[in-house]
Amino acid sequence: MDKIRTAVIGVGHLGRHHARWYKSIKESELVGVFDTDREKCKAVADDLGVTAYGNLDDVIGKVAAVSVVTPTTTHFEVTEKLLQAGIHCLVEKPITTTVDEAKALIKCARENNVILTVGHIERFNPAVQALKEYNIAPRFIEAHRLAAFDPRGTDVAVVLDLMIHDIDLALYLIKSKVRKIEAAAVAVVSDNGDIANARLTFENGAVANLTASRISLHAMRKLRIFQKSGYYSLDLANKQADIYRLAGESDDGRPGMRIPLGKSGHTLLYSKAGSKDDDMLCAELSSFVNAVAHGTAPEVTASEAAEALRVAIEIDRIGVNGVISGDLK
């Protein structure tokens, strides 16, 4: 199979990592990078031995797939141009600044028969991937995503910067529409919300309670899933999952610690999953390249990303305005 010719648009802090992994992934041939900062662009290109493109138009016709790792406000304009040129695109999260822009990109990708996916990287966390082995049907999810203050991230609210990861995971795991939102947010050290909490009630009755902060002393990325006959505790930072389930007939021979639950007659099966050694960005980009090579659907669809954005925008609106709750239309 021929390698997929790739490029990276935007080689700032995160874009450089995209370029490095495209250079390493065996199914990918990184041919160049582009950034409006020409000095930075040349430095990254020289380091990786690829072309430093002078403008976005120079990329067209040279590659089959790109990562768009530019400021969110430029996602729509940059990605639309690439999609119209028949180039498959992975756009960093959030997909765009508005839901209407996201819908327009989805339409553009469909009309040009190309893949559009979004960098919701926690989907590729080994702890999350491990859940595919189980019948996940959450009734309650609790997430905490806490980070130390970083001035680079204060141009957007913490909901769109950090919480959107857990919004996406909740939507992915619960597989139901959000019916109601209760939220609160506080702008502590910036002009946008720096800490936020949201309670999402879904149409199927499930509930997700999400907290995100970028002014914490200690970092934390944890997700807990509660459902009938099972509890899953995910340490996303360490890429590990602790899995507690009531053992059934299908679990005969499954490895794990078995704990009898007294007179109930039930047995609790405990096991660990995940891998600290797996790189999530490498997995994300490999999945994208594989989808392009084989014409298959991406792990994260643009429609899923648009829904996560829609919920995030509504959480931010409700929280910042001090509204107690609101129905999601």
Which domain CATH number covers 239? 3.30.360.10
Alpha-carbon distance of 50 to 179, in angstroms, equals 48
pLDDT of residue 166: 99
- Domain co-membership, 16 together with 143: no
- Domain co-membership, 178 together with 102: no
pLDDT of residue 255: 63
* Contact in structure between 45 and 51 (CB atoms under 8 Å): yes
Domain membership of residue 24 (yes or no) is yes
- Domain co-membership, 236 together with 164: yes
pLDDT of residue 190: 82
Domain membership of residue 51 (yes or no) is yes
Q: Could you tell me if residue 177 is left (phi over 0), alpha (psi between -120 and 50 degrees) or otherwise beta?
A: beta
- Domain co-membership, 142 together with 200: yes
Residue ranges making up the domain that contains 69: 4-120+280-300
Q: How many CB atoms lie within 10 A of CB 304?
A: 19
- Domain co-membership, 159 together with 227: yes
- Domain co-membership, 136 together with 268: yes
- Domain co-membership, 178 together with 80: no
Domain membership of residue 27 (yes or no) is yes
Domain membership of residue 238 (yes or no) is yes
C-alpha closest to that of 302 among 10, 90, 34:
90
Domain membership of residue 305 (yes or no) is no
- Domain co-membership, 99 together with 165: no
Domain membership of residue 188 (yes or no) is yes
pLDDT of residue 154: 64
Q: What is the mean pLDDT of each run of 10 residues along the chain (329 residues)?
A: 95 97 98 98 98 97 98 97 99 97 99 99 98 95 93 78 98 97 91 92 98 94 96 97 81 64 76 91 98 97 98 92 60
- Domain co-membership, 171 together with 85: no
Residues sharing a CB contact under 8 Å with residue 86, sequence separation 6 or more, in sequence order: 112, 113, 114
Distance of CA 180 to the CA centre of its chain: 22
Domain count along the chain: 2
- Domain co-membership, 205 together with 314: yes
Q: Are strands 230-235 and 220-227 parallel, antiparallel or unpaired?
A: antiparallel
Query: The CATH number of the domain where 63 resides is what?
Result: 3.40.50.720
- Domain co-membership, 116 together with 132: no
- Domain co-membership, 150 together with 53: no
Alpha-carbon distance of 296 to 281, in angstroms, equals 19
Q: How many CB atoms lie within 10 A of CB 203?
A: 12
Alpha-carbon distance of 319 to 46, in angstroms, equals 45
